[in-house]
Amino acid sequence: MVPSTKGGSGIVDEPLEEQTADASAEAAKNDPIAAPGHRSATWAVQHRGLNDRSDASVARAGVSSEAISMEELARQVTGDTAGAIITFCGQVRDHDDARSVTSIDYEAHPDADAVVQQIAHDVAQGSGAFKVAVVHRVGHLEVGEIALGAAVSAAHRQAAFGTLERLIEEIKLNLPVWKRQEFSDGSHEWTGSA
C-alpha cells in the first residue's frame, strides 16, 4: 500500500504510526531480517545475561582521607570478562542552591568504613556485575576535588549502570558522613548527607 499525498506536496495523509506499521509489514514480506520474530530473537541475543543474579566481588570499599583516583578505581574493576566499566565521580561543586561554596569538610562516624563495605557487599549480591569499587573522601576538600568515586564492571552495560546507580543511592542514604560547607560570604552549614 502506498499512502496518498496531498496535491503532490509529498505530505502523507495517514498518521506516522500507520505508515511505520505499513512499512514494517511490507519489509517483512521481502526481508526476513525485518520480520518481528527476527527482531525479538536479535534483542534476546543482544540482551542475554543482562543480570544473571550472580554476585559481584568487591574490589575496594571504604572511606579515605587521600585523594580519590578515578583511574585507579576503574583499574580495580577491569577484567577480560567486562564488556562495560562504568564510573561515577562526585565532586565538590562551587554552589549549593544560590550560595557560593568555597570548600567542604567531611567528617565520618568511626564505623563509616565498615558501613561502606557492607553497602558495597549488599549491592554486589545478586547484581549480575563482576566487580565494584567505591570510596568516600573525608577531610577538607576544595571545589573540584572528588568526594565520592565508584566504578562497576559487568558483561553488559545494563547490569553495570543499574549496580552503580544502586551503589551511589545506598551510599547517599546510609553512609554516616556529615559535611560542613564553607560559603564565600564566610558562613558555613552542616548537613548530614554524604
Whether 177 is covered by a domain: the verdict is: yes
List of E strands, 65-167? 84-91, 95-96, 99-108, 129-137, 139-142, 146-154
Tell whether the model's pLDDT for residue 142 goes beyond 60.
yes
More confident residue, 36 or 185: 185
pLDDT of residue 23: 53
Same-domain pairing of 62 and 99? yes
Closest CA to 121 of 61, 191, 50, 165: 61
| pLDDT at residue 164, rounded to an integer | 99
Q: Residue 190: is its pLDDT beyond 70?
A: yes
Strand 177-183 with 188-191, pairing: antiparallel
Same domain as 178, residue 122: yes
Question: What's 105's domain CATH number?
Answer: 3.90.1170.40
Say how far apart CA 188 and CA 142 lie, in whole Å: 14
**pTM score of the predicted model:** 0.73
Average pLDDT over the chain, rounded to an integer: 84
User: Strand order of the sheet with strand 57-64?
Assistant: 57-64, 129-137, 146-154, 84-91
Residues 35, 84, single domain; the answer is no
Q: 52 in a domain, yes or no?
A: no
Does one domain contain both 40 and 65? Answer: no
Is the separation of the CB atoms in 155 and 130 below 8 Å?
yes
Query: Domain check: are 41 and 67 in the same one?
Result: no
Mean pLDDT of 135-141: 98
Residue 30 sits in the same domain as residue 97: no
Q: Is 115 exposed, middle or buried (0-12, 13-18, 19+ CB in 10 A)?
A: buried
For the segment 28-68, what is each residue's pLDDT rounded down to a tens digit? 566 555 555 555 544 444 444 455 678 999 999 999 999 99
Q: Are residues 126 and 167 in the same domain?
A: yes
Same domain, 12 and 31: yes
Question: What are the DSSP E strand ranges found in 28-145?
Answer: 57-64, 84-91, 95-96, 99-108, 129-137, 139-142
Q: Is the pLDDT of residue 161 over 50?
A: yes
The range of the structural domain enclosing residue 2 comes to 1-46
51 within domain boundaries? no
* Residue range 89-121, pLDDT digits in tens: 999 999 999 999 999 999 999 999 999 999 999
Residue 19 covered by a domain: yes
Clarify whether residues 17 and 65 are in a common domain.
no
Number of domains in the chain: 2
